[in-house]
A and B are shown apart, each in its own frame.
Chain A
């Protein structure tokens, strides 16, 4: 048990002394996860609006499909993105494999079903008079949709944060398409896998603590948002 206690102590020291590698990994993780979440939200929230407003055949089926994709295995996403970005793949010429961009792509695919599904649930609960009032006051459809989103702003923000929570600690896809390259594509989660394998418990625990802090902060914010509703 000593090695665990020792590991915790050293982890504390690493965080407290602003170890450059720990902070570089944390910074990259934040960049790719926030980037992927923002892109997934920018695309996902309008999709949710169209899904909620739309009246087309197969709407229920599509929503069920998106709900299913929320549980998409990360390694399957990693495999698919890898296949597309690898040298022989259809997007191989872009030379994106083993770059932070590749990680963002994988995480985007993981986050978007969550953002859409939870935003659909949030927007469905909004009083239909909000949209109708917007329209009859002369607003364009996008502007009326914005009022609907604002009405459900806390629940929509919770959807975005749920997307972030999904990708920030994700390891399968980031490891496969990012390659876990030191100082370039090493994220908190992939670094923990590596350091644990190497027996570098202190370093792994330090990263783990930071990751848990992210999850904690995200969840506290989600809880506060949902309560405000």
Chain B
């Protein structure tokens, strides 16, 4: 676990910006911090970056508390890219080289790494330009290069895909892919639930500064098919019966507690029944298991350990999942 937060409290004046009892963020993969505006996403990223001190509580990174004596070292491992990044009033080259110079990297290596980073974001030809004379898109890409050139252990991105042009979005997706491939930690904030689930392995949902249970388990993307009385949601792989009159933006989720797991097909009033196979079993909380079932789409079903044992299931077992159409919630 690279980041452990305990009893964190951050206030802006009287307003509680962040209040986290306990939160762990996994290393070597990507985590999305999701929530509406003002939910505390940026504050959380700034705390993780060692840029702001919580009023109360401890944050540790790899077991080491982020306190003033470790702060300088911590900031050399972790880099935050602001939502509206600011470039220093020098050249593009100097901007991208800044972090490397701060680390005492030899001159020749700086040249080479800066060139590589700028090429990656498609800005190799503007090294000599003044940073403040760039277009908005170029500015953002140079800022991305300035963070990437450091190859930080942890990359923090604040709303990376909000208001970006296509070239920048592509460069960022490349960043996500490359870090995922190399098993590097990436933490980003977003208000977009779909994006969070599409790009991250873990999702932390914040509401009013507090982590809240994700409303987005069993999240599926697709389109609504209405045919007279019946309404179906087509994910492209399975068709899920939904309540008539449901309106969605193309995403639905099904609470894992509302799905029944059985070895035989159930005779019931529930409109949705799928045949599948158990692919993963994880402890969700004490005595409660999350069972991943591949049934055309991956479903997560939450069962008690006791009932799971009574079913006598193991990985690979054939199962049925059943849920009512009213268990389907639009996003």
Stretch at the interface among B19-27, B95-103, B242-250: B95-103
Chain A residue contacts of B18, Cβ below 8 A: none
Given contacts A136-B51, A136-B75, A137-B102, contact A129 B88 (CB under 8 A): no
Question: Does A130 touch B at the CB level, under 8 Å?
Answer: yes
**Is the Cβ of B102 less than 8 Å from the Cβ of A151?**
no
**Is the Cβ of A138 less than 8 Å from the Cβ of B51?**
no
In angstroms, Cα B88 to Cα A151, docked, is 7
Chain B positions 92 through 113: 1 when the CB is less than 8 Å from some CB of chain A, otherwise 0: 0000001100110000000000
Chain A residue contacts of B252, Cβ below 8 A: none
User: CB < 8 Å: which of B88, B103, B150 contacts A150?
Assistant: B88
Chain A positions 92 through 130: 1 when the CB is less than 8 Å from some CB of chain B, otherwise 0: 000000000000000000000000000000000001011
Question: Does A134 touch B at the CB level, under 8 Å?
Answer: yes
User: CB < 8 Å: which of B102, B146, B150 contacts A143?
Assistant: B102
**Is the Cβ of A134 less than 8 Å from the Cβ of B98?**
yes
In angstroms, Cα B72 to Cα A44, docked, is 25
Residue picked from A138, A141, A143, most chain B C-beta under 10 Å: A138
**Is the Cβ of A139 less than 8 Å from the Cβ of B86?**
no
**Is the Cβ of B88 less than 8 Å from the Cβ of A138?**
no
**Is the Cβ of B75 less than 8 Å from the Cβ of A138?**
yes
User: CB < 8 Å: which of A127, A136, A147, A150 contacts B80?
Assistant: A136
In angstroms, Cα B71 to Cα A189, docked, is 51
Shortest CB distance B51–A (Å)? 6
Given contacts A129-B82, A132-B51, A133-B82, contact A139 B89 (CB under 8 A): no
In angstroms, Cα B86 to Cα A133, docked, is 7
Question: Does B79 touch A at the CB level, under 8 Å?
Answer: yes
Given contacts A130-B88, A150-B88, A151-B89, contact A137 B150 (CB under 8 A): yes
In the complex, residue of chain B having the shortest beta-carbon distance to the beta carbon of A137: B99
Question: Does A19 touch B at the CB level, under 8 Å?
Answer: no
Chain A positions 132 through 170: 1 when the CB is less than 8 Å from some CB of chain B, otherwise 0: 111111111101000100110000000000000000000
In angstroms, Cα B103 to Cα A139, docked, is 8
In angstroms, Cα B84 to Cα A224, docked, is 30
Question: Does B7 touch A at the CB level, under 8 Å?
Answer: no
**Is the Cβ of A133 less than 8 Å from the Cβ of B85?**
yes
**Is the Cβ of A138 less than 8 Å from the Cβ of B99?**
yes
Shortest CB distance B124–A (Å)? 20
- A sample of 6 more A-B contacts (CB under 8 A), given A134-B88, A137-B102, is A129-B85, A135-B50, A136-B49, A138-B79, A138-B150, A139-B98
Instruction: Write the residues of chain B forming the contact surface with A, with a CB cutoff of 8 angstroms.
Output: 46, 49-51, 72, 75-76, 78-80, 82, 84-86, 88-90, 98-99, 102-103, 146-147, 150
